[in-house]
Copies of this chain bind each other. A is one copy, B any other.
Amino acid sequence: MKKVGVAILGMGVVGGGTYKILKEHRELYQKSYKVDLTVEVVLERDRSKALALGIEEDRIAANIQEICSNPDVDIVVEVMGGVEPAKTFVLDCLRAGKSVVTSNKELFCKYSHELEAVAKKNHCGLFYEASCVGGVPVIRSLLDNLQGNNILSMMGIINGTTNYILTKMAEEGAAYEDVLKEAQRLGYAEANPAADVEGYDATYKLSILSSLAFHTKIPYTKIYREGITNISVADIEYGKKFGYVLKLLAIGKNGENGIEVRVHPSFIKSSHPLASVGDSYNAVYITGDCVEDVMLYGRGAGALPTGSAIVGDIIYCATHTNYQYSTFKNTEEAAQSTKFVENFESAYYIRLNATDRTGVLAKVSSIFAKCKISVAQMLQERGPVGEDGATPVIFITHVTRENNIKKAVQLINESEEVAKVAAVIRVVS
C-alpha cells in the first residue's frame, strides 16, 4: 500500500480537527483509497497543545527545517493562519518538494501567485479548498464542475461569525453589542472581532472565489467592504415588514461593463434560498450561463467541517499525480487589464429620522428626483418612535446607482427639514 506522510503546521482548532480525522479514519482510507495516511510530525510553538492531542513528544518538530528535511513527509498542512511565518514556512516546504494543503485565506488571497509559481517550479501540489467556506465544496466545484460556464454572479454568506450575530439579532431582537459579547463567550467570535465583523475575512474569501469564477485575479483591495458594526435591530425589524432578511453578503458580478465585487450588509427577500441560511451556516449562490442557479450550503467553519475540506485535499493529493487542480486559471497580466465597476447598481433601503413630518416628504421627493432615484415603497411609522423623538420614514428605492444614493444622502443630511439619514442598506435580488 502507498504510504503518505503528513505534517501539520499549527495545532489549533483546525489542526486538531485534521489530526483527529486522519487518525480515526486511517483504516477507511486504507480500504477505500489504498493509501496509508499518517501524521508524521507537527509544528506547534505551544507543545502542550500537541501533547494534549496525544501526539508523541518526538513527533513535535523544533522548527520548519526538521519538516522540510524529513523524507517521510510528503504533504504539509498549513493551518496557522496569518501571513507570517506561514508564508515563509509554506515556501520552504514547497522548495523542499512537499505538497501543501492550506486553509489560510489571507495568505492565499494575498500571495497566491508567488506560492503557485514556487509550487509549479518544484512540481508540488498546492491545495486550498479549506480556505473558503469550510466544508462546503465550493472551490473544487468552481474549478472542476462549473468551469465550462461563464459565471455571471455569485452571492455568498461566507462568514459564520457575522451570520450568527445577524441571525440572533433578528430572532431575539437583541442589540449588536450584546450578541457580539455572547458570540465571544461561545467562541464564535474572536476577542478582537474586527476581521469578521468589519468584513475583512469575507473580502479575502471573495477575492479567491471571484478570481476562480471570473478567470482573472481579483485583488482583495478592489473589493468594496462594509461590515455589520453599524447595523441596528430597528433596521432588521423594519426590513421584515418589507419581507426582507438582513445578511452580510459577498457579491461578485461579471457583466458587460466589468467586474463588480463587494461585501456589505444586504437585505434579500425572505423567499430567496440564501435567506434561510441561519446561525453559523454558510452558503454560496452561483449563477452561470449554462448551469443557471446552484447553491452550495454547509458549515463554513469549525474543527471537523474545515478538517473535512483539508483531508479531502490530502486524499486527492495522495491519490493523484496531476496537480493542475492547484493553479489559478489566470495570470498577473489578466488581472491588470480587468475592469472593475465601482459605481454599481442596486436597490436601496433608506431610513430617515424626520423631525418635520409634513415637510420631509416633499423635500426628500425632490432630492430623490434630482438624483434620479425612484421610490418603490415607503413606510412611515406613526408617533415619535425613532431616536431623539424623530419619526422614522423608510424608503425602498428602485434599482439606481451607488453614486446617486451618495449624492442624495448628502443633500438630505444638508437639508434643514430632515434630521438625518439613519441607515442606508443595499437591497439585493
Report which A residues bind B (CB closer than 8 A).
17, 21, 25, 28-29, 31-33, 129, 135-137, 140-141, 144-150, 215, 273, 276, 288-299, 302, 304-305, 307-309, 311-312, 314-316, 319-322, 324, 329-330
Contact B329 A304 (CB under 8 A): no
Knowing A295-B297, A324-B320 are in contact, say whether A29-B148 is a contact too (CB < 8 A): yes
- Please name 8 further chain A to chain B contacts, defined as beta carbons within 8 Å, in addition to the given A145-B308, A288-B308, A297-B297, sorted by A numbering: A17-B290, A137-B296, A140-B145, A273-B297, A290-B305, A292-B299, A292-B305, A295-B297
Contact B315 A148 (CB under 8 A): yes
Q: Distance in Å from the Cβ of A178 to the closest Cβ of chain B?
A: 25
Those 6 A-B pairs whose CB atoms lie nearest each other, nearest first: A148-B311, A137-B145, A135-B291, A294-B298, A290-B308, A291-B308
Cα distance A214–B4 in the bound complex, in angstroms: 23
Counting chain B CB atoms within 10 Å of each CB, which of A25, A33, A136, A147 scores highest? A147
Collect the chain B residues with CB atoms within 8 Å of residue A321's CB. 322
Collect the chain B residues with CB atoms within 8 Å of residue A320's CB. 322, 324
Knowing A21-B290, A145-B137, A290-B305 are in contact, say whether A215-B31 is a contact too (CB < 8 A): yes
Q: Which of B21, B146, B273, B312 contacts A308 (CB 8 A)?
A: B146
Q: Distance in Å from the Cβ of A328 to the closest Cβ of chain B?
A: 10
Collect the chain B residues with CB atoms within 8 Å of residue A315's CB. 147-148
Contact B294 A136 (CB under 8 A): yes
Q: Distance in Å from the Cβ of A195 to the closest Cβ of chain B?
A: 23
Cα distance A28–B145 in the bound complex, in angstroms: 15
Q: Distance in Å from the Cβ of A155 to the closest Cβ of chain B?
A: 13
Q: Which of B291, B299, B308 contacts A149 (CB 8 A)?
A: B308
Contact A292 B146 (CB under 8 A): no
Collect the chain B residues with CB atoms within 8 Å of residue A295's CB. 295-298
Q: Distance in Å from the Cβ of A192 to the closest Cβ of chain B?
A: 27
Q: Which of B33, B141, B288 contacts A147 (CB 8 A)?
A: B33
Q: Distance in Å from the Cβ of A307 to the closest Cβ of chain B?
A: 6
Question: Within the oligomer, what is the number of copies of this chain?
Answer: 2
Sample of 29 A–B contacts (CB below 8 Å): A17-B290, A21-B148, A25-B148, A28-B215, A29-B148, A32-B329, A33-B147, A33-B329, A137-B137, A137-B294, A137-B296, A140-B141, A140-B145, A144-B316, A145-B309, A147-B312, A148-B315, A149-B308, A273-B276, A273-B297, A290-B308, A291-B298, A291-B308, A294-B299, A295-B295, A296-B296, A296-B297, A320-B324, A321-B322
Collect the chain B residues with CB atoms within 8 Å of residue A29's CB. 148
Contact A305 B291 (CB under 8 A): yes
Cα distance A293–B290 in the bound complex, in angstroms: 27
Q: Distance in Å from the Cβ of A147 to the closest Cβ of chain B?
A: 5
Contact A304 B292 (CB under 8 A): yes
Contact B150 A146 (CB under 8 A): no
Collect the chain B residues with CB atoms within 8 Å of residue A292's CB. 135, 298-299, 302, 304-305
Q: Distance in Å from the Cβ of A288 to the closest Cβ of chain B?
A: 6
Collect the chain B residues with CB atoms within 8 Å of residue A312's CB. 144-148
Cα distance A129–B137 in the bound complex, in angstroms: 15
Contact A311 B298 (CB under 8 A): no
Contact B316 A135 (CB under 8 A): no
Cα distance A308–B21 in the bound complex, in angstroms: 33
Q: Distance in Å from the Cβ of A316 to the closest Cβ of chain B?
A: 5
Collect the chain B residues with CB atoms within 8 Å of residue A136's CB. 294
Cα distance A135–B290 in the bound complex, in angstroms: 9
Contact A297 B294 (CB under 8 A): yes
